[in-house]
Amino acid sequence: MNQHPATAPRPNPPRAGAAKDGARPHPRDVLALAPLLRNHLSPPSVVRSREPLAPHTTLRVGGPADLWVEPAAEDDLAQILNLCSQCHVPWMILGRGSNLVVRDGGFRGVVVRLSQPSFRTLTASGSTLRCGAGLPLPKLAAEARRLGLSGFEFFEGIPGSLGGALRMNAGAHGSRTFDRVASVRCMDRSGRIEERRTETIPVQYRACPLFADRVALAAVFLGEPAPESAIRERMAAFSRRRWASQPRQPSAGCAFKNPGALPAGRLIEELGLKGTRIGDAQVSLLHGNFIVNLGNATAAEVLSLINLIRRRAQEERGVALENEVEIVGED
Ligand code: EPU
């Protein structure tokens, strides 16, 4: 499948591919990749320059990507990873941008989104669902309900894609993504594809280290047959609970992982930080672990607020809060 040998990978930040010696490429050098990508990728693939990223995130902050690519198929994705590797251009996969803060300077490199139909498939066989990484989670929940399969109700209000959910083992209402995963299909940074049984994949609270240097392509889930009405009721209850406790304004979901038994939201409330505002970034009045964008927030304002909360939690309670949101790009 791959015509291009990959350069050796190096340790790298999550989501992003390698750049030579960690050096940042000049935007001009990244843009020079555009014609190469257009030549190598199959026609339905999309290649765009200087794509604003804020509209592709739920928080709605951040600058542009030098290049934006939507591969049409797995072979195209392999070509992208190989070309980036050869040209020492960083890359990252963007799902539905729901757990992400893009810095105001944007991303120097290639942002890849698996949004074309071949990555959004859902096929059912008995109690088994095979889903593409680009599938939106609410769609997965709705299709499982239609098929009378329980276990996916908690996905109903998570504004992410399956790939992102696998990457961070997303969860809600006591369930986690990997609870029902039987196997995962993924691509390494040289374009090689493998299918992994769940037993061979270590997962943690809000993390699956396998995807630090691999791209999730698809997953096989095992559902539990149940009456559609019961599934519908569970989804409605989750939805009510979420809307009662979580803000409607743009946000990146929970900003911090829960540090042990004490929920970060409660800790932030106890620190008196709810409502704290820097520019148009505000700690939600409804839930302390959400930073909301009141309209024209910048990434710098959001990051200042994150730092302020972390400092106060450390100084006043001795708690080292860990970001749940991922931060990418440049100031
Ligand atoms: N709480 C407060 N003050 C607040 C917020 C929460 O006292 O401002 C209290 C609540 O009353 C409750 C406890 O803290 O007793 C936990 O709050 P909640 O039920 O809202 O759950 P959470 O631990 O804050 C987790 C996930 C959410 C998920 C919800 C619902 C994490 C970091 N967050 O939130 O996931 O939607 O449970 O199941 O694990 C996300 O990952 O982005 C996310 C939103």
As a whole number, the mean pLDDT across the chain is 93
Model confidence at 1, pLDDT cuts 50, 70, 90, reads very low
Percent of the chain with pLDDT over 70: 93
132 Cβ below 6 A of ligand 1: no
Residue 55 reports pLDDT greater than 70: yes
Confidence of residue 27 (pLDDT cuts 50, 70, 90): confident
Residue 3 has pLDDT above 50, yes or no: no
Average pLDDT of span 296-316: 98
Question: Residue 17's pLDDT band (boundaries 50, 70, 90)?
Answer: low
Angle between helices 228-245 and 137-146 (to 10 degrees): 150
Identity of the residue numbered 220: V
Distance 239 CA to ligand 1 centre (A): 14
What is the pLDDT at residue 7? Answer: 31
Adjacent-strand bridge partners of 224: 150
Strand partners, 188: 214
**Burial degree of 18 (CB within 10 A; 0-12, 13-18, 19+):** buried
pLDDT confidence of residue 158? 96
Q: What is the pLDDT of residues 261-301, one digit of tens each?
A: 899 999 999 999 999 999 999 999 999 999 999 999 999 99
For residue range 134-172, what is the model confidence (pLDDT) as tens digits? Answer: 999 999 999 999 999 999 999 999 999 999 999 999 999
The fold adopted by the segment(s) 248-328 is 3.90.78
Ligand 1 center from residue 176 Cα (angstroms) = 14
- Cα(174) to ligand 1 centroid in Å equals 11
Nearest protein Cα to ligand 1, atom 11: 266
Q: Is 120-229 CATH 3.30.465.10?
A: yes
The pLDDT > 90 percentage for the chain reads 90
The pLDDT score that the predictor gives to residue 326 is 97
Compute the distance between CA of residue 313 and CA of residue 185 in angstroms, rounded to an integer.
39
Q: Is the pLDDT of residue 50 over 90?
A: yes
The pLDDT score that the predictor gives to residue 22 is 55
Tell the residue nearest (CA) to atom 10 of ligand 1: 266
* Predicted confidence (pLDDT) at residue 104 exceeds the cutoff of 70: yes
210 contacts: CB under 8 Å, gap ≥ 6: 184, 186, 196, 201, 202
Query: Domain map of the chain by residue range?
Result: 20-112, 120-229, 248-328
DSSP string, 212-269: GSEEEEEEEEE-EE--HHHHHHHHHHHHHHHHHHS--SSEEEESB---TTS-HHHHHH
Q: Does domain 20-112 sit in CATH 3.30.43.10?
A: yes
Mean pLDDT of all residues in 117-132: 98
257 lines ligand 1 (CB under 6 A): yes
pTM (predicted TM-score): 0.93
Distance CA 103, CA 327 (A): 7
CA 81, CA 215: separation in Å to the nearest integer?
A: 10
Which residue minimizes the CA distance to atom 25 of ligand 1?
172
